[in-house]
């Protein structure tokens, strides 16, 4: 019998798997006693942790001894089923020069009412599984001494005998033949990178309850040794699936391949170019036929042209960030002057810490730089059409040395301007040549700046302004760091969009789903992501639509902004026929469309298509049951993560 003997702590996947390979003195002998009972068994289980104590080999047959605990390290006894997947990793270049490392699937064995191998529950939180045979020869794959080996353990999705539900977990162990830490791995991607957009991604089961929810589990099966279609090998399969509906530029590989120093092969996307990986995005290229690219029959020559520096420069935001680092526009003062706002802009170069002496109309690299203004944040703005000025076409009223003064007139003021506030939103495009600003007369390339906003009162700029419901960071979890541009160059999803897309946008009175017919930002965002807008019928939201925290942020008190009651500034939904739906009912009915749901809202004081007076009378009592801490708090009944 061979016993894996050297202790090895392995990488944790989100459920904090700690695996240790520990052994006794020699290579022979019988397995030791599984141990004494580990304390009272767990009665409450929110997550599962697995500790692999040892892997034993007897005539090439592996036995995995492991312990399962809950989130407070209490033993979990009576697990009714499990799946065990075994694979080995061929090193980079093993199959041919230039080829990436490749997983080879051996087997997947399951235990429930019966087992492929032998499963033992030691009744103290410890378990053993012996595979049905030696890995060598399974699936016609030869076991390679010295290769990195992997076993994935999947448990959960069912219940203990007492009815306690078990959450699904996939946890894995990598080792080398003699028990040492693997000499090489393929740690390219962490599941958290996927779940910034997908919430809790899982496959091979009902939506949200799939059996496999870790990249490390997926790759053990989705490889050439297991799948019959090369398109279902993990890397090209994932690339292909993201070609349609991807919410950010496909050219930015680091949207998914986020930098992570803990992943040894994190930069393989740039360092190890292959026809299989690159061709799954560059679908217009046929490498062997020489179509769209010089003829390549294998991967041996890829890196000769496509070195990592070149690949990074062509497939990341690095050049864009360098250009943007040379320009900053900021509002430094603002005040009301009748129905106008007088404001000053400072233009500077953060890369050199210098101001641009000239005004925007004299800077040759500015393609577009404009400022929008709206007033009345206390009522979510007084008008749907923010007033604007194009600074590249405007002569400043006054100013010098980088600070110039302008005016935007025609604002609609609220009832008491002295106690209200407004917003200035700034957007634009800069002419650029690769990583440098350039004269617009000499280049057709442009770089969109990151839009920004500045609140102001009747007398000065102010940090406090309109409530923050979503942020550029929460939106950026899917859409990238202000990479989603509407109307050309508007990408401040936190506050800029709302200066026009506000409560003054009306809904179609004849629409089945009124929220899907208005451009009021809150209704636009809800219905757009739900795929219920006729102009965007094919939106396939990648996360759980009920997870409000995917987009919503928290307020100063740490409460998610989706909570009830609503902020007092939220106004009812206005219709094209002059009727109104009360604010809470309007928002909830964006998703909860049924007649039963609407009847419930009406019974609790909600008003649908009534007068403005009725819709603002404050009769809604939704927060009584659905407010913070209430019986059916919206933050409890939605699957918020």
Q: Packing angle between helix 191-198 and helix 472-479, nearest 10 degrees?
A: 110
Shared domain check, 137 and 83:
yes
Is it the case that residue 32 has pLDDT exceeding 90? no
Q: Tell me, yes or no, whether 583 and 633 share the same domain.
A: yes
Over residues 82-108, mean pLDDT: 97
Helix (H), strand (E) at residue 147: none
Q: Could you give the CA distance from residue 322 to residue 316 in angstroms, rounded to a whole number?
A: 11
Q: Are residues 160 and 61 in the same domain?
A: yes
Residue that finishes a domain, picked among 316, 343, 362? 316
- What's the order of all strands across the beta sheet hosting 102-111? 102-111, 82-90, 148-155, 169-176
Q: Is residue 61 part of a domain?
A: yes
Residue 293 shares a structural domain with residue 344:
no
Assess whether pLDDT exceeds 90 at residue 397: yes
Percent of the chain with pLDDT over 70: 94
The residue-averaged pLDDT of 554-569 equals 96
Q: 41 and 68: one domain?
A: yes
Q: What would the pLDDT profile of 198-226 be if each residue is shown by its tens digit? A: 988 899 987 778 899 999 999 999 999 99
> Model confidence over 319-330: pLDDT tens digits?
999 999 999 999
Q: Residue 211 domain-assigned?
A: no
Residue 11 has pLDDT above 50, yes or no: no
Task: Please report which confidence band the pLDDT of residue 8 belongs to, taking 50, 70 and 90 as the band edges.
Answer: very low
Q: How confident is the model at residue 641 (pLDDT cuts 50, 70, 90)?
A: confident
The CATH number for 302's domain is 1.10.720.180
In a domain, 234, yes or no: yes
What is the full DSSP assignment across 71-88? TTS-B------EEEEEEE
Question: Which among 291, 316, 341 is the end of a domain?
Answer: 316
Same domain, yes or no: 311 and 353: no
Q: How far apart are CA 627 and CA 16, in angstroms?
A: 34
Q: Within a domain: residue 45?
A: yes
Look up tokens 């019966």; give the residue: 114
Is the pLDDT at 26 greater than 60? The verdict is no
Under the banding of pLDDT at 50, 70 and 90, the label for residue 506 is very high
388 occurs within a structural domain: yes
Q: Indicate which CATH number applies to the domain containing 467.
A: 2.60.40.10
Q: Are residues 72 and 181 in the same domain?
A: yes
Average pLDDT, the chain: 92
Q: What's the chain's Rg over C-alpha atoms?
A: 30
**Per-residue confidence (pLDDT) for residue 23, from 0 to 100:** 36
Q: For 511-535, what is each residue's pLDDT tens digit?
A: 989 999 999 999 999 999 998 888 8
Residue 260 CB: number of other CB atoms within 10 A? Answer: 15
Helix H or strand E segment including 278? helix 275-279
Instruction: Report pLDDT digits (tens) over 268-327.
Output: 999 999 999 999 999 999 999 999 999 999 999 999 999 999 999 999 889 999 999 999
Give the model's pLDDT for residue 22: 35
Chain segment 47-83, per-residue pLDDT in tens: 999 999 888 999 999 999 999 999 999 999 999 999 9
Query: How large is the average pLDDT for residues 481-486?
Result: 91
Q: Mean pLDDT throughout 141-152? A: 95
Residue among 580, 470, 585 at smallest CA distance from 528: 470
**Mean pLDDT for the stretch of residues 540-562:** 94
pLDDT at 521: 97
On whether residue 330 sits in a domain, the answer given is yes
The winner for highest mean pLDDT among 310-319, 365-374, 536-545 is 365-374
Final residue of a structural domain among 499, 534, 553: 499
Measured CA to CA in angstroms, residue 204 lies from 201, 218, 275 at distances of 11, 10, 28
In a domain, 344, yes or no: yes
Considering the domain architecture, whether residues 298 and 325 belong to the same structural domain is answered as no
Same domain, 242 and 390: no
pLDDT value for 27: 45
- 308/269 Cα distance (integer angstroms): 9
Sign of torsion over alpha carbons 539, 544, 547, 552: negative
pLDDT computed for residue 206 by the predictor: 78
Residue 191 lies in a domain: no
| Residue (of 255, 636, 264) closest to 479 by Cα position | 255
The stretch 116-131 carries a mean pLDDT of 96
pLDDT of residue 53: 85
Average pLDDT over residues 473-486: 93
Is the backbone of residue 313 left (phi > 0), alpha (psi -120 to 50) or beta? alpha
DSSP state letters, 38-63: -SSPPS--S--EEEEEEEEEETTEEE
19 pLDDT higher than 80: no
Q: For residues 355-374, give the mean pLDDT.
A: 98
Phi/psi zone of residue 545: left (φ > 0), alpha (ψ -120 to 50 degrees), beta?
Answer: alpha
pLDDT band at 178 (very low <50, low <70, confident <90, very high): low
Per-residue pLDDT at 569 exceeds 80: yes
If you average pLDDT over residues 146-152, what whole number do you get?
A: 96
What's the CA gap between 195 and 193, in Å, rounded? Answer: 6
Looking at residue 498, its pLDDT comes to: 97
Number of domains in the chain: 4
Q: Percent of the chain having pLDDT more than 90?
A: 84
pLDDT bucket at 25, cuts 50 / 70 / 90? very low
- The whole domain housing 578 covers 522-637
**What pLDDT score does 36 carry?**
53
| Residue 481 and residue 369 share a domain | yes
Handedness of CA 107, 269, 258, 445 (dihedral sign): negative
pLDDT of residue 188: 95
pLDDT at position 238: 96
Within this chain, do residues 118 and 8 fall inside the same structural domain, yes or no? yes
The answer on 445 and 368 residing in a single domain is: yes
Q: What does the pLDDT look like over 241-253, one tens digit per residue?
A: 999 889 988 999 9
pLDDT at position 5 over 70:
no
């Amino acid at each position: 019998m061979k016993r894996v003997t050297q202790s090895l702590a392995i990488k944790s996947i989100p459920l904090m798997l700690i695996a240790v390979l520990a052994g006794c003195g020699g290579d022979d002998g019988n397995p030791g006693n599984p141990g004494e009972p580990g304390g009272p068994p767990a009665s409450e289980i929110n997550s599962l942790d697995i500790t692999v104590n040892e892997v034993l080999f007897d005539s090439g047959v592996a036995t995995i001894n492991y312990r399962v605990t809950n989130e407070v390290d209490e033993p979990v006894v009576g697990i009714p089923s499990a799946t065990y997947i075994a694979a080995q990793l061929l090193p980079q270049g093993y199959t041919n020069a230039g080829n990436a490392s490749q997983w080879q699937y051996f087997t997947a064995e399951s235990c429930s009412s019966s087992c492929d191998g032998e499963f033992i529950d030691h009744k103290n939180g410890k378990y053993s599984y012996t595979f049905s045979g030696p890995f060598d020869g399974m699936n016609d794959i030869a076991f390679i001494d010295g290769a990195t080996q992997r076993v994935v353990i999947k448990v959960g999705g069912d219940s203990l005998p007492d009815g306690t539900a078990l959450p699904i977990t996939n946890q894995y162990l990598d080792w080398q033949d003699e028990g040492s830490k693997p000499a090489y791995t393929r740690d390219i991607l962490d599941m958290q990178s996927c779940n910034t957009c997908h919430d809790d991604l899982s496959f091979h089961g009902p939506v949200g309850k799939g059996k496999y929810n870790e990249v490390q589990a997926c790759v053990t099966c989705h490889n050439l040794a297991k799948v019959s279609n090369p398109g279902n090998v993990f890397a090209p399969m994932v690339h292909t699936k993201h070609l349609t509906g991807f919410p950010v530029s496909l050219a930015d590989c680091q949207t998914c391949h986020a930098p992570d120093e803990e992943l040894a092969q994190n930069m393989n996307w740039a360092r190890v170019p292959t026809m299989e990986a690159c061709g799954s995005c560059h679908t217009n290229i046929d490498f062997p036929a020489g179509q769209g690219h010089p003829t390549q029959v294998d991967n041996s020559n890829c890196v000769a042209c496509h070195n990592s520096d070149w690949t990074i420069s062509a497939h990341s935001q690095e050049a864009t960030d360098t250009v943007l680092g040379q320009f900053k526009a900021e509002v430094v003062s603002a005040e009301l002057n009748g129905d106008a706002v007088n404001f000053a802009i400072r233009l500077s170069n953060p890369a050199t810490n210098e101001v641009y002496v000239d005004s925007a109309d004299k800077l040759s690299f500015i393609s577009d730089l404009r400022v929008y203004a709206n007033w009345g944040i206390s009522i979510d703005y007084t008008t749907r059409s923010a007033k604007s000025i194009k600074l590249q076409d405007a002569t400043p009223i006054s100013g010098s040395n980088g600070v110039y003064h302008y005016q935007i007139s025609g604002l609609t003021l609220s009832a008491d301007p002295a106690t209200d506030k407004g917003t200035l939103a700034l957007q634009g495009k800069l002419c650029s040549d690769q990583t440098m600003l350039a004269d617009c007369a000499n280049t057709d390339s442009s770089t969109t700046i990151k839009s920004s906003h500045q609140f102001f009162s009747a007398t000065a700029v102010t940090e406090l302004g309109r409530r923050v419901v979503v942020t550029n960071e929460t939106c950026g979890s899917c859409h990238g760091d202000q990479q989603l541009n509407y109307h050309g160059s508007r990408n401040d999803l936190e506050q800029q969009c709302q200066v026009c897309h506000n409560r003054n946008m009306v809904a179609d009175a004849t629409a089945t789903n009124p929220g899907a017919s208005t451009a009021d930002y809150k209704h636009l965002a809800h219905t757009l992501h739900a795929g219920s807008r006729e102009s965007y019928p094919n939106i396939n939201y990648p996360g759980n639509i009920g997870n409000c925290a995917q987009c919503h942020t928290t307020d100063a008190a740490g409460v998610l902004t989706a909570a009830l009651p609503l902020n007092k500034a939220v106004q009812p939904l206005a219709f094209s026929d002059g009727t109104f739906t009360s604010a809470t009912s309007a928002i909830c009915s964006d998703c909860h469309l049924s007649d039963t749901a609407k009847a419930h809202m009406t019974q609790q004081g909600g008003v649908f298509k009534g007068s403005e007076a009725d819709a603002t009378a404050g009769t809604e009592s939704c927060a009584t049951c659905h407010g913070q801490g209430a019986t059916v708090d919206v933050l409890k009944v939605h699957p918020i993560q």
